[in-house]
Amino acid sequence: MPEFRFNVLTREWVIIATERAKRPMEFAQTAPRLNLPAHDKRCPFCPGNEHMTSAEVDRIESAPGVWQTRAFKNKFPALDENLQPNASGDLLRPRIDGFGIHEVIVDSPKHNKGITDLPLPGVEKIVESYLRRYRFHAQDPRVKQIIIFKNNGVTAGSSIIHPHSQLIATPILSSQVQERIRVTQEFRAENKKCLICEMIRQEIELNQRIIYQNRHFVSFLPYAALSSFHTWIFPLEHHAHFGSIDDDIIPDLADILYHVIKAHEKLLNRPDYNFVVRTAPIGLPNEDYHWYISIIPRLTKTAGFEIGSNIYINGSLPELNALELRNVVDILKNKV
Ligand SMILES: [Zn+2]
Ligand SMILES: [Zn+2]
């Protein structure tokens, strides 16, 4: 049975999930993604092999009976949705039974087509799937936090090649999220406005780290980016919760995700990467957070100094990284 354990010294929760160790790793013996076939009969995520995955929970179809995106329960879940988040343990060893939801969302029926290989309507369907699953689980009174993320490539933590994303819903909040909320709340108390709205306004005005902007979203590198090409995407309109965005802006979110990740791939030769939707805990007042997406290409490894100090060393200048990415986006958009 999985469980959450709380480290009383670092104030961090850890999920102990020994079942995860049993999952098969596909990567070691497989060819690079560029040379992959559109369909692989051994792949559990390819059409025709639906019986190889755990129970399907959602799908978006491109024609009757033909799925474009498909969501199902993770076969090797880090958490168990049949448990209740009951707390126990003692002062130095707090624990909670490992309730949680762990789902997979497959990007497309094509074995070799992920977010940056699809036409924009295909990317829109991925974003729509994220929203549908997010909104569904946000109704569960046991759920406090929903994280949607993509591990792309083996160094980013992926074990299956067929492009996919994941959703994990937990009954606890990480200390990282709590700290971000505290900072946002403090800023609002002092300045009567949203810290992130202010940051976005200033970044657009300065125009030194902007990669791309469309009608509803903007992407830039953080002023103090922790690592090279670490990138943020923000909605221009203030929303704490990913699930509360207007469905009309899904095409703009698909557009910016596509162009920013595509620029990373072109400039950095298809690096492994993670992206994470960072959204407020369920029920947090709308003024206390501003959701966003982080994209982190896995170009370097975390080393001893970072582990020891939690101070990251970034070997490149965010302004230069942004300019390089912006130039690629400009070419993609046929502006030059
Ligand atoms: Zn496949
Ligand atoms: Zn805001």
Which pLDDT value is given to residue 300?
82
Q: How far is the CA of 148 from the centre of ligand 2 (A)?
A: 20
Given 119, 143, 172, which residue is the final one in a domain? Answer: 172
217 and 83 share a domain?
no
Q: How far is the CA of 292 from the centre of ligand 2 (A)?
A: 10
Q: How far is the CA of 239 from the centre of ligand 2 (A)?
A: 6
308 and 273 share a domain?
yes
Q: How far is the CA of 27 from the centre of ligand 2 (A)?
A: 40
Count of the separate structural domains present in the chain: 2
C-alpha distances (whole Å) from 268 to each of 58, 263, 293, 314 are 34, 8, 20, 16
Residue 179 lies in a domain: no
Residue 286 lies in a domain: yes
**Helix residue ranges per DSSP H, 29-119:** none
Which pLDDT value is given to residue 140?
96
Give the number of whichever ligand sits closest to the CA of residue 187.
2
Which pLDDT value is given to residue 29?
40
| 201: CATH | 3.30.428.10
Task: Give residue 204's domain range.
Answer: 192-332
Question: Mind listing the pLDDT tens digit for each residue in 239-273?
Answer: 999 999 999 999 999 999 999 999 999 999 999 99
165 and 199 share a domain?
no
Tell me the HSE value of 286 on the side-chain side, using a 13 A CA sphere.
7
154 and 287 share a domain?
no
CB contact at 8 A, 133 and 71: yes
Question: Mind listing the pLDDT tens digit for each residue in 82-112?
Answer: 999 999 999 999 999 999 999 999 999 999 9
Q: How far is the CA of 162 from the centre of ligand 1 (A)?
A: 4
Q: How far is the CA of 233 from the centre of ligand 2 (A)?
A: 13
Residue 55 lies in a domain: yes
Residue ranges in the chain whose pLDDT is less than 70: 22, 24-34, 335-336
149 and 198 share a domain?
no
314 and 223 share a domain?
yes
Residue 280 lies in a domain: yes
pTM recorded for the entire structure: 0.93
Give the number of whichever ligand sits closest to the CA of residue 235.
2
H or E segment and range at residue 38: none
Give the number of whichever ligand sits closest to the CA of residue 109.
1
75 and 131 share a domain?
yes
Which pLDDT value is given to residue 31?
43
CB contact at 8 A, 216 and 249: yes
Tell me the HSE value of 21 on the side-chain side, using a 13 A CA sphere.
5
